[in-house]
């Protein structure tokens, strides 16, 4: 997708969200007022209010309204406690919720800043500011190899496959370069002039505190466990023992640098938040994936049968059918038993996570999630599935 077109579509989604936000806040206040009036239907109003607040907690920061998202998250917790107790709220509880509703209105009164400063220590950052930089094409590759001839050979070979390669003989020069330029990936020797595990030490330093760590692939003549462990602790995605299979290295580099296979990854998103799923869909499509969105969980099985996805991205809290319930139904079908299910939610209760794990869930992702993390997590899970499918197919054809 052309980057200007992507930016245009993102801005369009953001404007739609902003235009609809006042109406959503009015609806939440209306549900609360109806609940306080009492009657046999009061519990239904409170449950609907929670669904609306839950969606706002997940989508607000995504579109730049971080304060709105934070207030909605606290408000959802108060509502959940009322739903679980099934008792009429005390005056203190009413005052707390009313205060949060007032703050919700005030939070929308201040538009989000256009230029958001990224705080590496804070995961709950607005996502709109980093979508393009996260997904932009980057073919720059840094190689750190103290063997001059071998490093030149790798540089020449990888350049022929479309990479823009820079070769460094030691970790110091690499770190100096990283202060001004960020590559798509680093191909790193474990043993450097600075020490036997110097490669891992350098990577730990350069990626420390980074919101989006630079992908790294280690290479070494060492086969021992300690060397492999140091690579893992440095955040390595792959470890190659010299001499290694060059084609496998290319595949690994294509994977970590964002190039997807010719057969695109297929993702089914089931979430009742229309604006948020539209943004997730746009993000994944920009990364080369095929995406189908279903906002009605009751229709998810039909989409699953039609689309045959590699992975299902599933919200936990949805009306009519929750994410855990839907996952239970999906797992009843043997054909869907191996499809990875990743839950998207603002819910972090341990019993919810345990129930999801018992259903064969592959991960929990907390809303809002940075685009690079969403893309990389889904790619890793689908890659693992396709490897398993290839092994099974190979076994049956023998």
pLDDT tens figures, 159-188: 888 889 999 999 999 999 998 888 988 999
How many domains does the chain divide into?
3
Where residue 212 sits, what CATH number does that domain have?
Answer: 3.40.50.2300
Report the C-alpha gap between 85 and 373 in whole angstroms. Answer: 36
pLDDT of residue 170: 93
Residue 272 maps to a domain: yes
pLDDT tens figures, 48-107: 999 899 889 888 888 888 899 899 989 998 998 888 888 888 899 999 999 999 998 888
Q: Are residues 231 and 270 in the same domain?
A: no
pLDDT of residue 267: 96
pLDDT tens figures, 279-308: 999 989 888 889 999 999 999 999 999 999
Q: Are residues 112 and 193 in the same domain?
A: no
Q: Please, which contacts does 12-19 make with residues 24 or more away whose CB atoms are closer than 8 Å?
A: 13/63, 13/275, 13/278, 13/279, 13/282, 14/63, 14/64, 14/128, 16/275, 17/59, 17/63, 17/275, 18/63, 18/111
| Residue 40 pLDDT grade (very low, low, confident, very high; cuts 50, 70, 90) | low
| Residue 10 pLDDT grade (very low, low, confident, very high; cuts 50, 70, 90) | confident
Q: Out of 256, 291, 324, pick the residue that ends a domain.
A: 256
- pTM of the shown model: 0.69
| Residue 39 pLDDT grade (very low, low, confident, very high; cuts 50, 70, 90) | low
Where residue 24 sits, what CATH number does that domain have?
Answer: 1.20.120
Report the C-alpha gap between 103 and 105 in whole angstroms. Answer: 5
pLDDT of residue 114: 44
pLDDT of residue 352: 63
Q: Is the predicted pLDDT of residue 398 greater than 90, yes or no? A: no
Tell me the residue range of the domain where 300 lies: 266-397
Report the C-alpha gap between 298 and 196 in whole angstroms. Answer: 56
pLDDT of residue 264: 85
pLDDT tens figures, 374-392: 888 888 888 888 777 766 6
Q: Are residues 275 and 239 in the same domain?
A: no
pLDDT of residue 250: 83
pLDDT tens figures, 92-136: 999 999 999 999 888 876 544 443 333 333 333 344 444 444 444
């Amino acid at each position: 997708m052309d980057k200007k077109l992507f930016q245009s579509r993102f801005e369009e989604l953001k404007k739609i969200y902003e235009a609809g936000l006042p109406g959503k806040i009015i609806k939440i206040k209306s549900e609360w007022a109806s609940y306080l009036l009492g009657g046999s239907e009061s519990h239904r109003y409170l449950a609907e209010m929670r669904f609306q607040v839950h969606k706002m907690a997940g989508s607000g920061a995504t579109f730049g309204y971080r304060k709105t998202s934070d207030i909605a998250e606290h408000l959802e917790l108060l509502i959940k406690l009322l739903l679980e107790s099934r008792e009429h709220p005390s005056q203190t509880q009413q005052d707390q919720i009313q205060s949060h509703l007032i703050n919700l209105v005030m939070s929308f009164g201040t538009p989000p800043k256009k230029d958001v400063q990224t705080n590496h220590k804070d995961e709950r950052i607005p996502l709109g500011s980093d979508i393009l930089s996260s997904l932009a094409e980057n073919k720059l590759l840094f190689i750190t190899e103290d063997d001059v001839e071998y490093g030149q050979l790798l540089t020449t070979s990888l350049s022929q496959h479309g990479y823009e390669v820079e070769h460094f003989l030691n970790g110091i020069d690499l770190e100096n370069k990283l202060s001004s330029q960020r590559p798509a990936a680093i191909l790193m020797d474990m043993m450097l002039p600075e020490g036997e595990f110097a490669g891992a030490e350098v990577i730990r330093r350069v990626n420390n505190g980074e919101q989006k760590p630079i992908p790294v692939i280690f290479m070494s003549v060492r086969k021992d466990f300690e060397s492999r462990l140091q690579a893992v602790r440095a955040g390595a995605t792959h470890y190659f023992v010299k001499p290694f299979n060059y084609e496998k290295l290319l595949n690994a580099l294509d994977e970590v640098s964002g190039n997807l296979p010719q057969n695109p990854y297929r993702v089914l998103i089931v979430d009742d938040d229309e604006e948020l799923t539209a943004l997730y869909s746009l993000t994944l499509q920009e990364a080369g994936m095929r995406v189908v969105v279903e906002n009605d969980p009751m229709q998810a099985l039909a989409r699953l049968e039609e689309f045959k996805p590699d992975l299902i991205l599933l919200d936990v809290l949805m009306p009519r059918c929750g994410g855990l319930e839907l996952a239970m139904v999906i797992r009843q079908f043997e054909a869907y038993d191996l499809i990875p299910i990743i839950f998207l939610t603002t819910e972090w209760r341990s019993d919810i996570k345990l129930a999801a794990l018992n259903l064969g869930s592959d991960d929990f992702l907390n809303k809002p999630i940075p685009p690079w993390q969403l893309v990389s997590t889904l790619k890793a899970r689908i890659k693992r599935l396709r490897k398993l499918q290839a092994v099974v197919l190979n076994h049956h054809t023998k």
